[in-house]
Copies of this chain bind each other. A is one copy, B any other.
Amino acid sequence: MYNWYLESGKEADVVISTRVRIARNIEKYPFVSKMRNEEAQKFLEEMQEITPKIGYGLKFLKLKDIDDLTKMVLVEKHLISPEFALKNTENKAILINDEENICIMLNEEDHLRLQFFASGLDVEAVTNLATDIDNKIGNLINYAYSDKYGFLTSCPTNVGTGQRISIMVNLPALSKTGNIRKVLEIVNNFGMNIRGIYGEGSKVQANTYQISNKQTLGISETEIAKNIKLITEKIIEQERLARKLLEKNQIELEDNIYRSYGILSNCRKISNQECTQLLSDVKLGTDLGIIKELTDLKVKKISLYTKPANLQKFVGKKLDAQERDVERANIIKQIIKE
């Protein structure tokens, strides 16, 4: 059994992951930005106490008890935000399970940021899980709620459902055929956000985009889920059409993909940025059945264990940037050979 991010989900040729995030605050405390230390600590104690009652194998972990490398590993897995990991860690904690498909940040922008993940496209399963855990916690501790506005949040953009669904997609063919701009425009007109994913050094990760709902107020959770599923299915359709177009020039496509594979599998050092770019081509190759040398699992493993912190966790030692580039090339070869 692998963690969710190493598993192959539905529509895995295009969709990397489905995430549901719910922002919640506790009635009796001021928002995090106004909270005194004692209040923040008090809240953490309460949460620690109710953790076993929530179930799902959730464990309570204070952020100050997690070493820096492990925190960055969680950031790279998109389980916690970079700001949460790095600033004022004294008053922060997470609830997380072994599968890592549930991760609740405490005292981030809101008192609770509940996050639920699945590999591939699985809006229904993830929202069902989200609703269940959200209800459980809501029964154990009083959420800040207004009959007029719905759930109250630190930032007005989240007021209402407090729910944001994000679908991470891989759109190499739409990028290559140049149709990506048109798609980005359409998604925006549907009241959704679509944006590039930032990797190390604030450079956009190759061909990876995140679709999420803009609206949280005046719309139900069910509607949000329905809309985002609909728009994602449209994007999947467009990406697959673009791939069909690319396949018309089979030699060109295979050449592109195999050159990337050739560099990836033979280099002796490689940056995270270049690795991500090449891996995007290679993933297109496995998705289209062109590359036989790699499986989906291996692509996912390479993608995860070549990220700076996960790489160091994988080899079990601290490495500087140059050492990481060399070790990254080793890990790629090792995973391919497995």
Contacts and interface: CB of A to CB of B under 8 A. Distances in A.
Contacts of A326: 251
> Chain A contact residues: over half helix, strand or loop, or mixed?
helix
A262 B268 CA distance: 11
A255 interface: yes
Contact of A258 (B251, B252, B255, B267): B267
A259 B265 CA distance: 9
Contacts of A329: 255
A252 B261 CA distance: 19
A252 to B, nearest CB: 8
Contacts of A263: 259, 262-263
Interface in A39-88: none
Q: How large is the interface on A (under 10, 10 to 19, 20 to 34, 35 or more residues)?
A: 10 to 19
Nearest to A256: B268
Contacts of A251: 268-269, 326
A266 interface: yes
A296 interface: no
Nearest to A270: B255
Nearest to A268: B255
A326 B255 CA distance: 9
A11 interface: no
A134 interface: no
Nearest to A254: B268
Contacts of A255: 267-269, 329
Interface of A: 251-252, 254-255, 258-259, 261-269, 326, 329
